[in-house]
């Protein structure tokens, strides 16, 4: 198949997957599409027991090199209609992974005999729970090197530029409750106003000080208290926190401080405050060998001028749960420059589809010549 036909085929697959967009944990049609496509390639498809998604393998060597593609979409308003939408580029990631599989199958005799290539189509990346669920099913227990990928906004990479690693930060979401009693608006001495407790919580978040060399932030992103009666002082409230940190140990120090704030305010006001950690995505732990392998593949496939340094971004990705679960895993993510605009998770996100083929070539090379 010539290069134009390959690119056309990739674009058709991309459009198919884009139209099948499904939110985290509900990727049934997507899984069915992938299953049918891979079975037509005479591959044995392995479905996961506890979730959607699947994996396949090419080769039968002892050294396992893996590529992970996320398969879920986000739930958002598009032209005034709420729908599942692939505005984070996971449809492109799946397309690229399918292209790499086809590349490796074209000439299996040229592949290293001691390698097995595992392709993991992972659900629920957007919730931060997908990688953890697959770790529990043992999908990376025997993997030596793991590659991921992500389309990058134009502010980070222009079309045709590639980075061999993405230094994602850690993110952690917390939900909280304040439990007290309501009081009449004319008798504020009879209760503690949960809104005041929330305001004090925000003030202490803003006053929190860690090492100035670290990058971090903590924000209250929701607070709900009171009802339709303006003459009732609410004693109960629910709130949420969004925490970000460049390094995982910074996240742990910040979390400890926030728990101390919670305990201090609970004691001071005499109310019960509970905090629960929800979605929790660690920062990137990048392996230098895997990064060097991708760097070489980028140079070989698209030239030295298109190799860019490791990207630093405040975003997060649950890909990095794999390296927390398996510390011996050699892992990195390919940053794909494709003139992505206006930005990730924007309902009208679009990018240069011509970069699908180049991404396939880079990842095919990296997997085939990994050492």
Six-digit token string for 364: 């095919």
d(CA 134, CA 47) in angstroms, rounded, equals: 11
Query: Percent of the chain scored above 70 by pLDDT?
Result: 99
Please calculate the CA angle 97-151-88 and round it to the nearest 5 degrees: 95
One domain for residues 107 and 241? no
Q: pLDDT class for 1, splitting at 50, 70, 90?
A: low
Residues near 102 by Cβ (< 8 Å), separated by ≥ 6?
Answer: 41
pLDDT of residue 4: 65
pLDDT, residue 111, reads 87
Identify whether residues 194 and 143 lie together within a single domain: no
**291 in the same domain as 270:** no
> Are 165 and 307 spatial neighbours (Cβ–Cβ below 8 Å)?
no
Measured distance CA(31)–CA(23) in Å, rounded: 12
Instruction: Quote the CA–CA distance of 41 and 117 in Å, as a whole number.
Output: 15
Quickly state the pLDDT bin for 46 (edges 50, 70, 90).
very high
| Overall average pLDDT of the 34-47 stretch | 98
Host domain of residue 231: 170-281
In terms of Cβ atoms closer than 10 Å to its own Cβ (0-12, 13-18, 19+), residue 83 is middle
What is the structure's pLDDT at 315? 86
Same domain, 34 and 138: yes
Mean pLDDT, to the nearest integer, of 50-54?
A: 95
pLDDT at 99: 97
- Asked if residue 291 and residue 228 are part of one domain, the reply reads no
Please name every residue paired with 217 in a beta bridge, in sequence order, or none if there are none.
244
Asked if residue 296 and residue 147 are part of one domain, the reply reads: yes
Helix (H) or strand (E) holding 245: strand 237-245
pTM comes to 0.90
Q: Which residue has 């390698």 as its token pair?
A: 115
Same domain, 274 and 293: no
Domain co-membership, 232 together with 331: no
Q: Are 220 and 251 in a shared domain?
A: yes
Burial of 304 (C-beta count, 10 Å sphere; 0-12/13-18/19+): exposed
Average pLDDT over residues 64-83: 97
Q: Is the dihedral of CA 26, 28, 30, 35 positive or negative?
A: positive
Helix ranges, the chain (H): 3-19, 28-40, 90-106, 130-136, 194-207, 248-269, 288-302, 321-325, 355-368
As a whole-number percent, the residues of the chain with pLDDT over 90 amount to 92
What is the end-to-end Cα distance of the chain in Å, rounded? 28
- Give residue-wise pLDDT tens across range 237-283: 999 999 999 999 999 999 999 999 999 999 999 999 999 999 889 99
**How many structural domains is the chain composed of?**
2
Q: Are 233 and 308 within one domain?
A: no
Tell me the pLDDT band of 345, cut-offs 50, 70 and 90.
Answer: very high
* pLDDT exceeds cutoff 90 at 107: no
- CATH code assigned at 271: 3.30.70.360
| Residues 151 and 55 both lie in one domain | yes
* Best mean pLDDT range from 226-235, 311-320, 362-371: 226-235
Residue whose entry in the numeric block shows the structure tokens 């704030």: 261
242 in the same domain as 129? no
């Amino acid at each position: 198949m010539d290069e134009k036909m390959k690119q056309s085929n990739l674009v058709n697959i991309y459009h198919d997957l884009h139209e099948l967009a499904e939110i985290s944990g509900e990727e049934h049609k997507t899984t069915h599409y992938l299953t049918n496509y891979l079975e037509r390639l005479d591959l044995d498809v392995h479905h996961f027991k506890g979730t959607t998604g699947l994996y396949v393998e090419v080769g039968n060597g002892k050294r396992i090199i893996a590529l992970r593609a996320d398969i879920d979409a986000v739930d958002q308003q598009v032209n005034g209609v709420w729908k599942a939408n692939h505005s984070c580029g996971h449809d492109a990631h799946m397309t690229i992974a399918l292209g790499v599989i086809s590349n490796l199958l074209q000439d299996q005799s040229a592949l290293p005999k001691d390698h097995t290539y595992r392709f993991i189509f992972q659900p629920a990346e957007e919730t931060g729970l997908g990688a953890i669920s697959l770790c529990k099913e043992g999908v990376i227990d025997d993997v030596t090197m793991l590659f991921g990928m992500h389309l990058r906004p134009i502010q980070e990479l222009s079309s045709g530029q590639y980075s061999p690693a993405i230094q994602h930060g850690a993110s952690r979401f917390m939900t909280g409750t304040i439990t007290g009693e309501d009081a009449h608006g004319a008798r504020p001495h009879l209760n503690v106003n949960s809104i005041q407790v929330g305001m004090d919580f925000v003030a202490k978040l803003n006053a929190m000080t860690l090492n100035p060399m670290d990058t971090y932030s903590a924000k209250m992103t929701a607070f709900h208290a009171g009802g339709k009666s303006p003459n009732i002082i609410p004693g109960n409230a629910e709130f949420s926190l969004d925490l970000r940190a460049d390094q995982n140990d910074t996240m742990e120090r910040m979390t400890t401080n926030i728990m101390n704030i919670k305990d201090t305010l609970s004691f001071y006001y005499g109310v019960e405050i509970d905090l629960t950690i929800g979605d929790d995505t660690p920062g990137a732990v990048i392996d230098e060998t895997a990064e060097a392998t991708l760097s070489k593949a980028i140079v070989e496939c698209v030239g030295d001028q298109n190799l860019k340094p490791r990207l630093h971004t405040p975003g997060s990705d649950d890909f990095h749960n794999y390296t927390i679960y398996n510390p011996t895993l050699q892992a990195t993510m390919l940053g794909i420059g494709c003139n992505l605009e206006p930005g990730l998770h924007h309902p009208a996100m679009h990018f240069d589809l011509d970069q699908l083929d180049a991404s396939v070539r880079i990842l095919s090379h990296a997997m085939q010549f990994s050492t």
